Amino acid sequence: MEEYSAMAFVPLAPFRPRLLDALRGYDRARAGRDLGAGLTVGIVALPLAMAFAIASGLKPEAGLWTAIIAGALIAALGGSHVQIGGPAGAFIVIVYGIIERYGVANLLIATACAGVLLFLLGLLRLGRLVRYVPLSIVVGFTNGIAVLIAASQLRDWLGLDVGKLPADFFAQLRLLGSHLDTFNPSAFALGLACLLGLFVWPRLWSVRLAERLPVDLPGVREASEVGARIPGPIVALATLTFVAWYFQLPVETIGSRFGAIPRGVPAFTLPDFSWETVKLLVTPTVTIALLGAIESLLCARVADQLSNLPRHDPNQELMAQGVANFVVPFFGGMPATGTIARTVTNIRAGATSPIAGLVHAVTVAVVVLAAAPLAQLVPLSVLAGILFFVAWNMGEWREFAHLRRYSADYRIKMLGTFVLTVVFDLTVAVQVGLLAACILFIQKMGSLFSVERIPGDSGELRYRLYGSLFFGATAKVDPIVEAVESGPAGTPVVLDALQMVHLDTSGLDALRQLHKVVLLRGGTLRMENLQPQPREVLVQAGFLGELARHEASEEVPA
């Protein structure tokens, strides 16, 4: 009864946003740094939010208002000082697939349900469990998502006259290949110029490059520092949009496909919610929640490494992500999570607190409300170029070249997850990847357990046990059973468990089976030098008592 009560009681995580701690001792200097960082990240978020929404099969305003609403909620309620939340590239493939299969209305319901699930994960202190997802699986599905994002942008980059793209990777390639005759050179040129510009821009304004000039020109270093702070995506978006408008290039724009972006705040709308619908959306709900949790906590860990601020609270971060994902669907938004690129930009711009995240959300809102009509002039091929750049930076491409350095287990999990993500979807990839990780881990741990025959007294079988005797290693006890069955009757067996650090119920059952064989042969079984955990299991199961009683009965003279 006491054991059940202890297991039933799960301490809940306190709801304490990091914003409350960050405001202690907040001064004008920190406010200035947060203001500058928030403005910078807000400008960076504008093209990304629109691009992520469009690539996901939604209207651009869905991404913009997700950046505003979710960005503000995650900053205000989150467990990190500098994390920026909003729509993320990792969700593009997932959201597109859900919309194609279930529709936009059910996407909103699944997102809200995922928000509830994320909040419960944080409330129940399960935030640290995300760290148990193997790095090989994270790298595999991240690279797979990057490939799928790039493939989804081929239509707009090449300017192909294609209708709605299927979610399947190979079906997309077949459809695009059958419409190559509609190739638009103007769209391709704009997308290529955008992509090349994003690679060149930070190097163009590199301070090191300025210092290598043969002539020491005054103000070059200062100009380089200022230019480096201007976000490349905004420069590409503004200049190439102007080029397309000025020269009246025949390219598809946001306005020609979606119409003008509304300048007002989206209306609060309740989705058509029912329990039957929720049951049908279990898979997309779990997928959104799982991906959101992994992305946000990985992003928060990156932020911890890059900044000198206190470490994030994973449970509080998950609760904030839950609130944000529960709220945004009521305003027509899409799933949100922590975003690595914007968070890194926030840190490098000098952010010191969640105030920068709030400023970022306000910046996006002001631009949307004041200049939304200008967005309809943006060529879709330019947004495709931005997403190609995002996909390139998202992927851990060096991992493929370095695969020989890793173990076979790592290669199997990474490549398997990558292929399954591209061929099927993220849910299947993560499920199979985790299953493979568990099987390989069990195999590895099972191989670490060993049984060694050691010298004993005359007529005695003595063995030393090493490692963890659990369900994956019980077969290692079979040689002892075979030795007892083939040996003389009445032979006592002694197990030295000094090096056995763990025992589970399957291991206990293997010891019981050994004991039965020993008794049938008229012998006794004794265990010595037990460690605390195995001793506790054996005592609770009454097995040590059984061994003691049978050994005592053998010592009683006939």
pTM over the 0.75 mark? yes
b/e burial code for range 174-183 (CB count within 10 A of at least 16 → b)? ebbeeeeeee
Residue 7 has pLDDT above 50, yes or no: no
Across 1-5, 49-53, 394-398, 443-447, least confident range: 1-5
Reported as a single tens digit per residue, the pLDDT across 181-217 is 999 999 999 999 999 999 988 877 765 555 555 545 5
pLDDT of residue 462: 93
Report the share of the chain in percent with pLDDT over 90: 53
pLDDT of residue 66: 97
Residue 320 has pLDDT above 90, yes or no: yes
Element holding 483 (H helix, E strand): helix 478-486
What one-character DSSP code corresponds to residue 459?
A: T
Residue 549 has pLDDT above 90, yes or no: no
| Mean pLDDT in residue range 13-40 | 92
Report how far residue 220's alpha carbon sits from residue 211's, in angstroms, rounded to the nearest whole number. 8
Residue type, 501: V
HEC sequence for 2-43: HHHHHHHCCCCCCCCCHHHHHCCCCCHHHHHHHHHHHHHHHH
The distance from CA 522 to its chain's CA centroid, rounded to whole angstroms, is 57
Largest Cα span, the chain: 110
Q: Which residue has the higher pLDDT, 323 or 2?
A: 323
Report how far residue 469's alpha carbon sits from residue 510's, in angstroms, rounded to the nearest whole number. 9
Question: Within 10 Å of residue 542's Cβ, how many Cβ atoms?
Answer: 10
Lookup result for tokens 């590199």: 206
pLDDT of residue 211: 55
Residue 26 has pLDDT above 70, yes or no: yes
CA quadruple 103, 109, 115, 120: dihedral positive or negative?
negative
Report whether 173 contacts 453 (CB < 8 A): no
pLDDT of residue 493: 92
pLDDT of residue 341: 84
